[in-house]
Amino acid sequence: MSIDPNKSAGNLLNDALTHVSSLVRSEVDLARAEVNENLKTAGVAIGLIVGAVVVALTALNVLSAALVAALTEAGIPGGWSALLVGVIFAIIAYVMANKGTNDLKLSSLAPTRTAKNVKRDAQAVKEAYDDK
């Protein structure tokens, strides 16, 4: 940005305020877009957690049936089959819940690009006015 020596202080101040206002507006727009993107990710993560709860309840039912079948019919393959199915559902529920909770960590929801841009812009403004 070059400075015209013939410009008045009022014009320079007006230009500076215009640039700062435009910069703040674009940073707010970027922050809004980034937060919306992160909220979509959070929505998917919540969906995974809900899915994990449904699968976990199914696993609990199957494991309960398997335990009853195993105890009442000791040695009959049907009970052990139900046990195997229940363990598989439990593993699936664990993986889904783990993925969902990892996606919901606060650090993944913060608008990091906006924070970097604001720091960069502040540094650029500081350097521009330090050169004067």
The full set of domain ranges for the chain reads 39-130
The verdict on pTM exceeding 0.75 is: no
CA distances from 40 to 45, 83, 108, 109 (A): 9, 37, 12, 10
Residue type, 81: S
pLDDT confidence of residue 106? 65
pLDDT confidence of residue 3? 55
pLDDT confidence of residue 108? 59
CB atoms within 10 A of CB 96: 20
Please state, in angstroms and rounded to a whole number, the distance separating the CA atoms of residues 21 and 46.
37
CB 62 within 8 Å of CB 89: yes
Q: Which residues in the chain show pLDDT less than 70?
A: 1-6, 71, 74, 76, 106-111, 128-132
